[in-house]
Amino acid sequence: MKITVVVPTYLRPQDLIRCLGALKQQNKPVDELWVIVRDTDRETWQFLDTFDRGTLPLHTATVTATGVIAAMNIGLESATGDIVAFTDDDAAPHPDWLEKIESYYLADDQVGGVGGRDWVYHGTILEDGSQAVVGKLQWFGRLIGNHHIGIGEGREVDVLKGVNMSFRRKAIADLRFDQRMRGTGAQVNFEVVFSLTLRQKGWKLIYDPQIAVDHFPAQRFDEDQRNSFNAQASINAVHNETVALLGYLPPLQRLVFTIWAIAIGTSEAFGVLQCIRYLPKEGDVARQKLWASWLGRLQGWQTYSAKPLNKPQ
C-alpha cells in the first residue's frame, strides 16, 4: 500500500530535523511525504531549502491561514497515498511505525483509521503511567484520552490522537478537518470530530500502543501554552470538544452530556463538582477554569446550532 505522511510545522526547524530523521529510518520506506509550512515561517523555509531531498520523497506546501487545521487539510488534499498518516514536527516515529500501521489495513478492509501511543518526553524525562482505557467516549459524553500512556493489545477505539494517527483514503473520501474548531495554533480536540465522523460511518478505528512515536512537546506560538492556564485557550478547547460531541451523540444523550458537563465535568473542563474539588488548591484559578469551561460549552452549543456538520448518509 502507498502511504503518504503529512507533517504540519511552524517555527520548529530543530524539531523538524529530528522528525525527518526518524522518517528516514522507517522499516517500510515513506512513499510520499508532505511538510506543510506557514508562509511567514522563514526559519523553516530556510532549513528546507538546504535539506537533502534525495533521502526522502519530500514535498512542501504553503499554508497562509493560522491554526493546524488549515495545514492538515492541505496535507489531505495533496496526499496521493492509499493511507494518509499524520505526525507532528515535535515527534519522532519509531522505525516500525509505518510497517505496523500498514499491517492493520491489510488485515481488515473495515479498518478506517489506525493510531498508537505517543511516548511523551519532558526534556530527557519520560512521562510515566499506564492505562488500559484509551480513546473512548462514554455514553454520557465523557471523553477519555490516555493515548500517551496506553497499554495492552491493539483494539477498537472512538478517537485517535493527532500526533500519531492514520486514515484509509477510501474511508475519509472528501472528509476534511472541521473548520469550526477554534484556536490560532493547536486547535485542541480537532481530531475528535474527525474520528467520530468516521465512527458514524461504520469504520473501525484501531489504537495499538506498539505503534509508537516519541513526543517532545515543543513551544506553542499561540494562546495555548500547554502547562499554564489561559482562559481563551480553555474556552477554545472546550468549545471544540463540545461541537464534536454534539454532532455525534443522539438527542437524549446530548441533554445528559450537557447536565453532566455543567454539574460535574473533568479535570480539564470543569463543572461545579470539579471546581469544588480543586478550589482548596487553586483558589480563584479554579473559579476561572469553571467559567471558561461554561463559556466553552455555551459557545460550542451556539456553533453547533448555527452550522451542524452534515451527518453521514
Q: What percent of the chain is helix, strand and coil (3-state, nearest 5)?
A: 40, 25, 35
What is the pLDDT at residue 311? Answer: 46
Going residue by residue through the chain, which has 313 residues, state the pLDDT in tens, using 9 for 90 and above.
999 999 999 999 999 999 999 999 999 999 999 999 999 999 999 999 998 877 899 999 999 999 899 999 999 999 999 999 999 999 999 999 999 999 999 999 999 999 999 999 998 899 999 999 999 999 999 999 999 999 999 999 999 999 999 999 999 998 999 999 998 888 899 999 999 999 999 999 999 999 999 999 977 665 655 667 899 999 999 999 999 999 999 999 999 999 999 999 999 999 999 999 999 999 999 999 999 999 999 999 999 999 766 544 3
Cell reading at 282? 487553586
What is the pLDDT at residue 313? Answer: 35
* CA separation for the pair 106, 110 (Å, rounded): 10
Whether residue 275 contacts residue 218, with contact meaning beta carbons closer than 8 Å, is answered with no
Other beta carbons within 10 Å of 269: 23
* CA separation for the pair 47, 11 (Å, rounded): 11
* CA separation for the pair 264, 140 (Å, rounded): 12
* CA separation for the pair 167, 101 (Å, rounded): 10
* CA separation for the pair 107, 116 (Å, rounded): 17
Q: Where in the chain is the domain with CATH 3.90.550.10?
A: 3-215
Strand pairing partners for 111?
Answer: 204
CATH of 3-215, one of 1.10.10.10, 3.90.226.10, 3.90.550.10, 3.40.50.11540: 3.90.550.10
- Helix (H) / strand (E) containing 70: helix 68-78
Amino acid at 30: V
Q: How many CA atoms lie within 13 A of 194 on its CB side?
A: 29
What is the pLDDT at residue 221? Answer: 62
What's the pTM value of the predicted model, to 2 decimals?
0.93
Q: ∠304-196-133 over CA atoms, to 5°?
A: 125
Reference 275, options 251, 295, 299, 291; nearest CA is 291
Whether residue 135 contacts residue 145, with contact meaning beta carbons closer than 8 Å, is answered with yes
Whether residue 203 contacts residue 195, with contact meaning beta carbons closer than 8 Å, is answered with no
